[in-house]
Amino acid sequence: MDYPAVFVATLFHSGTNAHFMHLQTDSYAKHKALQKYYEGIIDLVDTWAETYQGAYEQIKSYPKDFHLATDPVKYITSVKSFVKDIRDELPKDTELQNIVDEIAGLLNSTLYKLKAFK
């Protein structure tokens, strides 16, 4: 498995899913929490991918699967688990792991907002 490609693709997809759910929710709090997530995750993942490619090699192929999510809390929780599980498979360079830390922080913050505010 090409872990960097799976990591990047999954998190880019999470931004798209969050954007779809942002447009479909009738909750203002969820609307704003999902907006903050999709705006933040794309930049963070792009930074991770460019940093990885600068240190290692260009990612040439990405997975073609796309899962359409509908439940924001359940979905962001699953993305949080994905990041936690794949982290050990990614390069250990501190600059890359620091970006993963920022991604984990964004996921935690988003979950808090989705759960605490209605």
Return d(Cα 13, Cα 41) in angstroms, integer.
Answer: 10
Q: Please report which confidence band the pLDDT of residue 88 belongs to, taking 50, 70 and 90 as the band edges.
A: very high
Alpha helical stretches, state H, the chain: 3-24, 28-55, 72-86, 94-116
Structural domain including 14 reads 3-116
Q: Global pTM?
A: 0.95
Angle subtended at Cα 116 by Cα 44 and Cα 99, rounded to the nearest 5 degrees? 15
Tell me the per-residue pLDDT of 1-30, one tens digit each, with 9 for 90 and over: 899 999 999 999 999 999 999 999 999 999
Say if residue 67's pLDDT is above 90.
no
Return d(Cα 57, Cα 80) in angstroms, integer.
Answer: 26
At residue 1, the pLDDT reads 80
The total number of structural domains that make up the chain: 1
Q: Sign of the C-alpha dihedral, residues 35, 39, 45, 49?
A: positive
